[in-house]
């Protein structure tokens, strides 16, 4: 078994792991990132042509992090020369009692985020592609943008390498062992010794944390995304069709569609509706019933989009009970930093969460607002597993 010594080992090469490696390497740290598959693989939560980045959140802390993420993505775009961000404007709408709408409205007012309040009739006047239920209310926010997800991960990885980070792909982290003064991460053929470890393993986080005495209530869901090929693509280009999130009463499930961007079709999904799976489940096949529900949803709200399906894929959502992230140091091993910032809305924050993880690894704290994401919050209370 080959042995390596470094300052920080990052476990997981999705957007969060690559962002952490980028910031750590840029700070001058020796970094080794371990990814169990090939970089850019499609088995997790970071692949695909597009993600939303927005300022429409209920909490002021999320708005502050989103603003920082916008700035850092733009800086990475300039540094790397890659096209990462496209501003398109976006809508949040639903019935008046939809979860989140009232809270987002008040947060944006308090945070100075400009927006327009619209009713369903005005939305359909501006965007005749929509057919909205009676009583729909919402708002338009001009900063809504799309991130080219694959390009974002690649840019972070490339810049991390430029600053000296070492990437080891095709090597699952099998064991994490704490020793006095260092942590050891073992794969089948390597042993990595480091002062700090950052865990960003996505849907594979649970088994790794149980090795370290933490049994967290993380639920892995297999979500589905479909790309619809419209009869008239010009109706769904970014200059004529906004990003949107439809919110519903009594559920955190969402209906979403994107303008055409880095793909031959309109990306649509019914968020947080997929089946629960285990970390070890290798089945990436699509749920036919779920695809039919999505077809029916699209036909109802966007009749001009048609029902020609171009492509459909699955991805993993790693959910916490309150849908907030986990960003913290291990309570008994503070040299281990834990990040599970997914729950279906994490990608946009990846570049700033990477900065936070670097801060926690280097100095044990961050100046960004992360109190909400502590391990000891009530929503995560669970009996600890036995430490092996």
The CATH number that applies at residue 329 is 3.50.50.60
**Which of 270, 294, 319 represents a domain boundary (last residue)?**
319
pLDDT at 160: 98
Instruction: Note whether 251 and 308 are same-domain residues.
Output: yes
Contact indicator for 243, 91 with CB cutoff of 8 Å = yes
| Domain presence at residue 51 | no
| Domain presence at residue 61 | no
Instruction: Note whether 243 and 346 are same-domain residues.
Output: no
Instruction: Note whether 295 and 236 are same-domain residues.
Output: yes
Contact indicator for 343, 373 with CB cutoff of 8 Å = no
Q: What are phi and psi of 13, to 5 degrees?
A: -110, 30
Strands 276-277 and 219-228: antiparallel
pLDDT at 384: 45
Contact indicator for 43, 197 with CB cutoff of 8 Å = no
For 151, 156, 160, 167, 309, the CA distances from 81, given in Å and listed in that order, are: 11, 12, 15, 21, 33
- Kindly give the confidence (pLDDT) of every residue in the chain, 388 residues in length, as a single tens digit, with 9 standing for 90 and above: 568 899 999 999 999 999 999 999 999 999 999 999 999 999 999 999 999 999 999 999 999 999 999 999 999 999 999 999 999 999 999 999 999 999 999 999 999 999 999 999 999 999 999 999 999 999 999 999 999 999 999 999 999 999 999 999 999 999 999 999 999 999 999 999 999 999 999 999 999 999 999 999 999 999 999 999 999 999 999 999 999 999 999 999 999 999 998 778 999 999 998 889 998 888 888 888 889 999 999 999 999 999 999 999 988 999 999 999 999 999 999 999 999 998 899 999 999 999 999 999 999 999 999 999 999 999 998 544 443 3
Name the β-bridge partners of 4. Answer: 192
Contact indicator for 87, 143 with CB cutoff of 8 Å = yes
Instruction: Note whether 169 and 298 are same-domain residues.
Output: no
Instruction: Note whether 209 and 347 are same-domain residues.
Output: yes
Instruction: Note whether 301 and 228 are same-domain residues.
Output: yes
Question: Domain limits at 210?
Answer: 2-46+150-214+322-380
Instruction: Note whether 239 and 120 are same-domain residues.
Output: yes
- CA–CA separation, 296 vs 302, rounded Å? 10
pLDDT at 383: 40
**Which of 319, 334, 364 represents a domain boundary (last residue)?**
319
Instruction: Note whether 236 and 121 are same-domain residues.
Output: yes
Name the β-bridge partners of 383. Answer: none
- What pTM was computed for the model? 0.96
pLDDT at 2: 61
| Domain presence at residue 375 | yes
Instruction: Note whether 266 and 312 are same-domain residues.
Output: yes
**Which of 319, 349, 366 represents a domain boundary (last residue)?**
319
Instruction: Note whether 288 and 225 are same-domain residues.
Output: yes
**According to the 3-state scheme, what is the secondary structure of 127-187?**
CCCCCCCCCCEEEEECCCEEECHHHHHHHHHHHHHHCCCEEEECCCCCEEEEECCEEEEEC
| Domain presence at residue 64 | no
| Domain presence at residue 208 | yes
88: closest CA among 237, 270, 266, 269?
237
| Domain presence at residue 161 | yes
How many domains, in total, are found in the chain?
A: 2
205: closest CA among 188, 220, 186?
220
CATH of residue 114: 3.30.9.10
| Domain presence at residue 99 | yes
Instruction: Note whether 230 and 132 are same-domain residues.
Output: yes
| Domain presence at residue 229 | yes
pLDDT at 348: 98
Instruction: Note whether 163 and 175 are same-domain residues.
Output: yes
């Amino acid at each position: 078994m080959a042995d390596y010594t470094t300052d920080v080992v990052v476990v997981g090469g999705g957007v969060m792991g690559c962002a952490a490696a980028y910031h750590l390497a840029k700070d001058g740290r020796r970094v080794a990132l371990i990814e169990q598959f090939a970089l850019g693989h499609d088995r997790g939560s970071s692949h695909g042509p597009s993600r939303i980045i927005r300022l429409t959140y209920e909490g002021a802390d999320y708005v502050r992090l989103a603003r920082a993420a916008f700035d850092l993505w733009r800086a990475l775009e300039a540094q790397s020369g890659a096209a990462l961000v496209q501003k398109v404007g976006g809508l949040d709408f639903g019935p008046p009692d939809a979860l989140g709408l009232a809270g987002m409205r008040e947060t944006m007012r308090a945070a100075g985020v400009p927006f327009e309040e619209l009713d369903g009739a005005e939305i359909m006047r501006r965007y005749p592609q929509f057919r909205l239920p009676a009583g729909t209310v919402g708002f338009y926010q001009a900063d809504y943008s799309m991130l080219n997800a694959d390009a974002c991960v690649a840019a972070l990885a490339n810049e991390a390498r430029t600053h000296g980070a070492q990437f080891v792909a095709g090597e699952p982290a099998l064991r994490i062992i704490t020793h006095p003064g260092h942590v050891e991460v073992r794969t089948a053929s390597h042993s990595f010794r480091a002062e700090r470890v950052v865990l960003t393993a996505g849907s594979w986080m649970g088994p790794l944390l149980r090795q370290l005495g933490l049994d967290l209530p993380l639920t892995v869901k297999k979500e589905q995304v479909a790309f619809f090929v419209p009869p008239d693509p010009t109706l769904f280009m970014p200059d004529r069709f906004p990003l949107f999130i439809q919110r519903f009463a009594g559920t955190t499930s969402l209906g979403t569609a994107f303008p055409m961007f880095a793909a031959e079709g309109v990306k649509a999904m019914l968020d947080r509706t997929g089946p629960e799976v285990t970390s070890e489940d290798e089945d990436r096949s699509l749920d036919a019933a779920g695809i039919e529900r999505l077809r029916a949803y699209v036909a109802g709200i966007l009749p001009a989009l048609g029902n020609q399906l171009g492509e459909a894929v699955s991805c993993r959502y790693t959910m916490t009970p309150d849908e907030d992230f986990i960003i913290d140091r291990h309570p008994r091993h503070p040299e281990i930093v834990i990040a599970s910032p997914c729950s279906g809305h994490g990608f946009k924050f990846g570049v700033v969460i990477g900065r936070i993880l670097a801060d926690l690894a280097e100095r044990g704290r961050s100046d960004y607002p992360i109190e909400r994401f502590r391990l000891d919050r009530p929503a995560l209370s669970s009996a600890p597993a036995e430490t092996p």
